[in-house]
Amino acid sequence: MTIFDNEQINNDINTIIERLTLPIDYPNTINTIKYLCKLGRSESLQGESYQKLEILCKKIDITKRLHKYYNLSFLKINEHKEEVEKDAYFLFILILLKYNTERLDYKFINTILRTFDLLEFSHPIELREALATYKKQIDFLLGDIR
Amino acid sequence: MSRTLDIEILAVNNSTLSIAYFDILKKEGIIPQKVTKIIFSDPSPKISFLPYKLSSLITLIVRKYKYYRELYQLKYIHDLILNEKDSYPDYYNPTEFNTYCCEYEEILVESVNDKKLVNHIKESKYKFILITGGGILEEEILNVGKNILHVHPGIVPYVRGSDGFLWSILTRGKPGMTCFIMNKGIDTGAILYQREYEKPVFFKTDILKLTNKVYEDIYRGILIFYEPMLRAKLFVEMVKEHELDLMKPISQDINEGRTFFKMHPRLRKSVIKNLLLSETNIIQ
């Protein structure tokens, strides 16, 4: 018995990855969307991948946004300050959910809630239903208090 | 019987954390050698671009508003929480800092990283300095060769960062406190003393009647009332059990543990709801 439906999450990840426009690469930069796609496709989250996911969580928890590019130390680059598109935020939520299927990681849940806030008023129509379902599941997990 | 403690306390003016430290030190008869009251300049530097009179007025209104809101939240949480009653600091009639130390000074600064404060710490004759809140210190202050102590609401390395009290309850089941020597990392300094405490016990409350505002008041109440008390308690327990000079700080492995950030209001509500629903709570 898993907390979230892993198969559904993987299907949604694949759908999102297909929709995403991959930005071009620049030397000595981390291409956030490409990196998210890689994390979305990987089966396990260990070592460096885990650390980088924690860094991305920190970006959302503190700055409330993800940039398309970071330098190799995961710091923002002045020449490339563009924010990732909404689909990428949804992909990020799905990646965090994927690593919450076996046991709850409240730190990731916290970041998921913050990312939901970013999408609240502007998520693409096609994603609304899927987003609402995951949100409902999290609400249920946290106790449905209004 | 009272005794003096060879330390300088940098006490932020009007903060409940400072009040808690002094109240609990006084209850235990421990007198700090030196106290420096830190007063933040008026108007707030954040709005210094506005004309002086306007920015002063805004600062005054904001401070008054915060003051009355805090009083309300203090009262609210005071009536709601049941345990540790004997330790509750008297936030309403605080000890005047200048009446409870051997040496006293006041310093007016714009922020905790103000040059005046850096120089003050540099020139301090005390090896140990306790800062009672105020923000993240810059490296310059941390490199002046003093042991700057901080009590963090969490057992490090497992709970570093913001909202440590609630993250501790969520991830470890109870609040924990750590006193460490500050370094440039976030809560990564060498550990002097740490322990966990029981969860706060509440009067049984009908959670269905609680609005979001009430949850926020309880959260703020914990932050300004209960958490400062535990921080101060830990500090006083430490100095009662050990001589600061003889303590051997234990370095942290910075790769171990986790840093948490401000808790989302939704998650916060869930943690507070679980505290309110706890089996140990008492029917009024």
Q: What is the pLDDT of residues A28-46, one digit of tens each?
A: 899 999 999 999 988 777 7
Q: Considering chain B, what percentage of its residues have pLDDT values greater than 90?
A: 55
Q: Which residues of A touch B262 (CB under 8 A)?
A: 61
Who wins on pLDDT, A85 or A145?
A: A85
Min distance B217 CA to chain A CA atoms (Å):
16
Element (H, E) at B59: helix B52-80
Total residue length of chain A: 146
Give the residue from chain A lying closest to B212, CA to CA: A146
Chain A residues with CB within 8 Å of chain B CB: 54, 57-58, 61-62, 106-107, 109-110, 113-114, 117, 139, 142-143, 145
pLDDT of residue A79: 83
Mutation to test the B interface, candidates A61, A63, A119, A135, most B Cβ within 10 Å: A61
In one-letter notation, the amino acid at residue B167 is W
pTM of structure: 0.90
Q: Tell whether omega for the bond before B45 is within 30 degrees of 0, i.e. cis.
A: no
Residue A145 above 50 pLDDT? no
Could you identify the residue written with the tokens 């108007």?
B43
Q: Chain centroid to CA A126: how far?
A: 17
Low-confidence ranges of chain B (pLDDT < 50): none
pLDDT of residue A122: 64
Tokens read off for A70: 């970071």
Q: What is the pLDDT of residues B117-160, one digit of tens each?
A: 889 999 999 999 999 876 777 888 888 889 999 999 999 999 99
Q: Which residues contact B97 (CB under 8 A, 6 or more apart)?
A: B11, B18, B22, B35, B37, B104
Whether B174 contacts B251, CB under 8 Å: no
pLDDT of residue B23: 93
Q: What is the pLDDT of residues A52-106, one digit of tens each?
A: 899 999 999 999 999 999 999 888 888 888 999 888 999 999 999 988 777 788 9
Give the residue from chain B lying closest to A105, CA to CA: B171
CA–CA separation, B114 and B110 (whole Å): 6
